[in-house]
């Protein structure tokens, strides 16, 4: 048996591709989603190294149960892929407070729940890899993405510090920051959009929704290629701590770095 992987949000999108790539590499994968049947349906139910479990990442006790069940059955969790999440796409003031809090409940606190459940098992063995699926939107924010970016900025800040805490104990971290991937991430069944109508934003919101509709299904990034890259990096002893994936992501991140350098220099001039 190769490594044991625990993947959240494994029934579709990037999570499904990572699960498939790990299986193709000979790994054992405990693949989770809110419905275990959805995972089995996604893979045809004929994979002997695939073990489907139900997990709502916002349920901390369920996360602990899945981590305990996985280690009891397989002896270890070698790689955690914290992938489950969704996007609130739209202008900030068009979201209710409940919608914003739900974004953080899933993307940040849900991701923390799984990490908190798995970390003790990796610390005990002084071995393991946290793969946290962030986004270039965790580095760069823009109009229409403020709420989603806020949740991913928070994930980045938390995981950057947590990784330093884990490193002396033999546990590694890889933050994955993709650009736009050809998944159903922008589809209404995955993304959520603001529900409040504000006339001042009406024209801009309409233009943003048109952009999302046009981009959905036409994103430049290949999720299969990213999944394969993650599996390869997981096998390396000296993997990078960050993977900025896609020409679009690297361009946006690079432009943000350039702006920050200019603003830092300007701040120095101001004294």
Known catalytic residues are: 148
Residues of the chain with pLDDT under 70: 1, 45-46, 182-192, 216-221
**Which two structure tokens, joined as six digits, stand for 28?**
């054992």
169: Cβ contacts below 8 Å, ≥ 6 apart: 122, 123, 126
CB neighbourhood size of 167 (10 A)? 12
For residue 46, report the phi and psi dihedrals to the nearest 5 degrees.
-115, 20
Bridge-partner residues for 23, per DSSP? none
CB 49 within 8 A of CB 29: yes
Kindly state the DSSP code that residue 133 receives in the 8-state scheme: E
Q: What is the pLDDT of residue 98?
A: 97
The pLDDT assigned to 1 comes to: 64
* C-beta of residue 176 within 8 angstroms of C-beta of residue 133: yes
Determine the pLDDT at residue 180. 85
pTM: 0.92
User: Which domains does the chain possess?
Assistant: 4-270 (3.40.50.720)
Measured in degrees and rounded to the nearest 5, phi and psi for residue 76 equal -170, 160
């Amino acid at each position: 048996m190769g490594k044991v992987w625990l993947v959240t949000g494994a029934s579709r999108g990037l999570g499904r591709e990572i699960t498939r790539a790990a299986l193709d590499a000979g790994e054992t994968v405990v693949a989770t989603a809110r419905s275990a049947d959805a995972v089995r349906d996604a893979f045809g139910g004929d994979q002997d190294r695939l073990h489907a479990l139900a997990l709502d990442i916002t349920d901390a006790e369920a996360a602990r149960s899945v981590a305990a069940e996985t280690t009891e059955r397989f002896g270890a969790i070698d790689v955690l892929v914290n992938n489950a999440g969704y996007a609130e796409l739209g202008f900030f003031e068009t979201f209710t407070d409940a919608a914003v809090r739900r974004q953080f409940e899933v993307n940040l606190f849900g991701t923390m729940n799984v990490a908190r459940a798995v970390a003790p098992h990796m610390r005990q063995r002084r071995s393991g890899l946290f793969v946290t699926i962030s986004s270039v939107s965790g580095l760069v924010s823009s109009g229409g993405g403020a709420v989603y970016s806020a949740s991913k900025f928070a994930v980045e800040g938390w995981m950057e510090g947590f990784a330093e805490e884990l490193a002396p104990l033999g546990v590694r971290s890889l933050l994955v920051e993709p650009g736009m991937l050809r998944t159903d991430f922008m589809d209404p069944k995955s993304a959520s959009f603001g529900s409040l109508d504000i006339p001042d934003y009406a024209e801009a919101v309409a233009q943003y929704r048109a952009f999302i509709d046009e981009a959905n299904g036409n994103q430049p990034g290949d999720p299969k290629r990213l999944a394969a890259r993650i599996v390869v990096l997981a096998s390396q002893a000296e993997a990078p701590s960050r993977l900025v994936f896609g020409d679009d992501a690297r361009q946006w991140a690079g432009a943000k770095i350039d702006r920050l350098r200019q603003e830092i220099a300007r701040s120095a001039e101001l004294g």
